[in-house]
Amino acid sequence: MSFNPILRVENLHKSFKGVKAVHNVSFRMREGEIVGLIGPNGAGKTTFFNLIAGSVTPDKGHIFFNEQDVTSLKPHEICLLGMARTFQIVRPFKDLTTLDNVIIGALAKEKNPLRAKKNAMEILSLLDLKDKAQQQAEFLTLPERKRLEVARALATKPSLLLLDEVMAGLRPSEVDMMVGVLQNLNKQLGLSIVVIEHVMRAVMCLSNHIIVLNHGEKIAEGKPEIITKDPRVLECYLGEAAA
């Protein structure tokens, strides 16, 4: 493929005490794409995000963000370059308000506190959290906490957003809302997004391109309509259901 990728991963490896969490994974992603990262539980999806975002160091391989080698950079350095991620286990600052949680993200890029607050309020509106701005984050519902997680990541003004299961546990109408928000961000701001998601309906309608991991290895990639018919993909999911 001959294009300048926003993200390029070359032969990435990470093992934990003999468990090959990510094994020889390579891929490249165009700017403006939405990529779905799927695979059964324990396939290595979150580890893959941890490697890309700098919170885990690879045993082997390289990660290039906008063709800059970020393999050995720290998470905050990668964030400053324009990559933001959410965590599978949501982790807001529980004692702070929803607004203050988002302001903290905004301050990563905007040093003026008034402008950071204005940016944070705009993002809260976008994620339908404006009414919860002054509420302590601890008392938000699960769907609200999931949206707060996305809001905090967006506040850092990323060009690439990594979302780890932000739709898990949501009702179908809440999933639809999240899909709509992500589609708007992608279309209006040109934001590139990688979504790890078990909610297949959402990942299939959002993604231009899907990557499938199983036991740490990339077993398939391509357009959603191709992936859903791929025998290797069907087998790894059916195998999981049968287990």
Ligand X SMILES: Nc1ncnc2c1ncn2[C@@H]1O[C@H](COP(=O)(O)OP(=O)(O)OP(=O)(O)O)[C@@H](O)[C@H]1O
Q: Give the H or E element holding residue 162.
A: strand 160-164
Identify residues 49-108 at the interface with ligand X (CB under 6 A): 88
Task: Return d(Cα 126, Cα 184) in angstroms, integer.
Answer: 10
Dihedral of CA 213/215/218/222: which sign? negative
Binding positions for ligand X, 17-46, rule CB under 6 A: 19, 21, 39, 41-46
Residue of 44, 66, 58, 36 lying closest to 160 (CA atoms): 66
Rounded to a whole number of angstroms, the minimum distance from the CB of residue 19 to ligand X is 5
Residue from 7, 9, 39, 46 that binds Mg ion (CB under 5 A)?
46
Q: Which is nearer to ligand X, 22 or 73 (CB)?
A: 22
DSSP 137: G
139 binds, options ligand X, Mg ion, none, Cβ within 5 to 8 A by partner type:
none
Q: Which of ligand X, Mg ion, none sits in contact with 142, Cβ below 5 to 8 A by type? A: none
Residue (1 or 89) nearer to ligand X, CB: 89
47 binds, among ligand X, Mg ion, none (CB under 5 to 8 A by kind): ligand X
214 touches ligand X by CB under 6 A:
no
Helix 172-189 and helix 113-126: axis angle, to 10°?
Answer: 130
Q: For residue 30, which amino acid is it?
A: R
The one-letter amino acid at 59: D
User: Of the candidates 66, 84, 67, which has an alpha carbon nearest to the alpha carbon of residue 75?
Assistant: 84
Distances (CA, A) of 69 to 7, 44, 51: 10, 22, 13
Choose the stretch contacting Mg ion; rule: CB under 5 A; options: 13-21, 43-51, 155-163, 207-215: 43-51
> Which region, judged by CB under 6 A, interacts with ligand X, from 16-24, 66-74, 75-83, 103-111?
16-24
Q: Which is nearer to ligand X, 88 or 135 (CB)?
A: 88
Q: How far is the CB of 200 from Mg ion (least distance, A)?
A: 16
The Cα-based distances of 155 to 32, 121, 227 in angstroms read 18, 10, 33
Residues in touch with ligand X (CB under 6 A) = 16, 19, 21, 39, 41-47, 88
Residues in touch with Mg ion (CB under 5 A) = 45-46, 88
